[in-house]
Amino acid sequence: MRRGSGRRRRASIIALLGSLLGLGGAGCTGGGDGQEIRVTPGAGAVNVREDARLRVAVLDGRLERVRVVRTADGESTPVAGAIAGDGLSWRPSAGRLAVASSYTVHAVALDGHGRRHSRQTTFSTRAPAGRFVAHFSPEHRSTAGVGTIVSLVFSRPVADRAAVERAVTVTARPPVEVAAHWFGDGRLDLRPRAFWRPGTAVTVALRLKGVHGGGGYYGIQDKKLEFTIGRSVISTVDARAKTIEVRRDGRLLRTLPVSAGAAATPTYSGYMVVMERLRTTRMNGQTVGFAGEYDISDVPHAVRLTRSGTFLHGNYWTPRSAFGSVNASHGCVGLPDEKGGSPASPAGWFFRNTLPGDLVRVVNSPQKTVGSDNGYGGWNLPWPRWRAGSALRS
């Protein structure tokens, strides 16, 4: 969900009427192709050539900050670059992109009226000719939540899924059975039967080098990736009660008021896993089929729950009285916040106490259960169905 000034005033009016206000979830997304910030290559671009130009630009105003991170084999590295003297563009210091990598661009700009806008996009570069790579989540050497699902997204379609799956192993200390599940021919997810135990050390071995994935493409990775499971934080959103209960290691920390999806755009049911945390992002209804309904450039404390655009985020444009009493979003779950994002607000507190891999469960919503491939919704599949998605068992 993302918004702007006149549009923001309209959203407030809609909020007071108790209809479609705020940032939605099944349909609030970050990003959008607004004219404030333009990123090249475009959002979601794949197989980008290494000689492609990487550029961030604004038509007016100035860029305030730009952060670009390159991720390869589960490790992230900042990309050096500089904002031009006139503040209108940013370019990297190096002339060429790295092959077989994914890039995340996060930019914040001030427009000609002094209003802050933000944008985050990702794109990936091509693997060498005849080769394929797996982009990995979570990051190497990270601390992740108990709902973490190991996810591999391949740079090319995999025809021989069994051969590729056989080359990927996940081990844990203390030991636990881990099973694989394919989503199409481009994504392989792995998880245990139940949520990870806090303190578990997880190792992912990618022995893909020389493995024929089909179609004449061979893997190039031979690497071990490690991460650790942190404390257990599981939050339950009750769409009927309009609250979220946050439990850490089984103990209730706080109960906070929320505004979930309205009757026409309810929030997905079931388990979702925190994918990323953005201190500020833009949410634009045009990116998820709500043309012109909202465009908010500075949504604070945004916690992404699905790839389709469900967020749990701060909301400063809705009256405080709505939280805990009215469900009015386009599917997202909103928490009280202040413009610019207040660390002391309910949204700021939730943001500070959240890790990628933490679990958020939505109950008492009329919406269907979130898809198992929409973000990391695999916890909604019963264990037998999850195991049946393995190419080695079918």
| Closest of 315, 250, 287, 369 to residue 22, by C-alpha | 315
Instruction: Look at residue 33 in the predicted model and tell me its pLDDT.
Output: 43
Using alpha carbons only, how large is the chain's radius of gyration in Å?
21
Which of left, alpha, beta for 15 (phi over 0: left; psi -120 to 50: alpha)?
alpha
- Alpha-carbon gap, residue 261 to 23, rounded angstroms: 9
Task: For domain 18-124, say whether CATH 3.30.70.120 is its number.
Answer: no
Reading across the β-sheet that carries 102-110, which strands appear in turn? 75-78, 62-72, 102-110, 116-124
- Alpha-carbon gap, residue 340 to 367, rounded angstroms: 31
How many CB atoms neighbour CB 112 within 10 A? 11
Q: Which fold has domain 131-231+380-387?
A: Immunoglobulin-like (2.60.40)
Our answer to whether residue 313 is catalytic in this structure is yes
Question: pLDDT tens, position by position, for the chain (394 residues)?
Answer: 433 333 333 333 233 223 323 333 445 655 544 448 999 999 999 999 999 999 999 988 999 999 999 998 878 899 999 999 999 999 999 889 999 999 999 999 998 888 888 889 999 999 999 999 999 999 999 999 999 999 999 999 999 999 999 999 999 999 999 999 999 999 999 999 999 999 999 999 999 999 999 999 999 999 999 999 999 999 999 999 999 999 999 999 999 999 999 999 999 999 999 999 999 998 876 555 555 666 888 999 999 999 999 999 999 999 999 999 999 999 999 999 999 999 999 999 999 999 999 999 999 999 999 999 999 999 999 999 999 999 998 6
| Per-residue tokens: 380 | 């909604």
- Same fold? 18-124, 131-231+380-387: yes
Instruction: Look at residue 116 in the predicted model and tell me its pLDDT.
Output: 85
Instruction: Look at residue 113 in the predicted model and tell me its pLDDT.
Output: 81
- The answer to whether 152 and 168 have CB atoms below 8 angstroms apart is yes
pTM: 0.83
Our answer to whether residue 332 is catalytic in this structure is yes
Instruction: Look at residue 290 in the predicted model and tell me its pLDDT.
Output: 56
| Closest of 239, 242, 260, 265 to residue 27, by C-alpha | 265
Instruction: Look at residue 283 in the predicted model and tell me its pLDDT.
Output: 87
| Closest of 293, 289, 292, 297 to residue 316, by C-alpha | 297
- 51: β partners: none
Instruction: Look at residue 294 in the predicted model and tell me its pLDDT.
Output: 63
- Alpha-carbon gap, residue 223 to 228, rounded angstroms: 17
Catalytic option among 117, 135, 313, 330: 313
Any idea where the domains of the chain sit in the sequence? 18-124, 131-231+380-387, 233-379
- 134: β partners: 154
CA distances in angstroms from 112 to 36, 62, 65, 171, listed in the order given = 10, 8, 16, 53
| Closest of 66, 67, 69 to residue 58, by C-alpha | 66
Phi, psi of 160 (to 5 degrees): -100, 80
Q: Which fold has domain 233-379?
A: L,D-transpeptidase catalytic domain-like (2.40.440)
Catalytic option among 28, 106, 117, 332: 332
Identity (one letter) of the amino acid at 352?
R
Instruction: Look at residue 282 in the predicted model and tell me its pLDDT.
Output: 87
3-state class (DSSP) for residue 222: strand
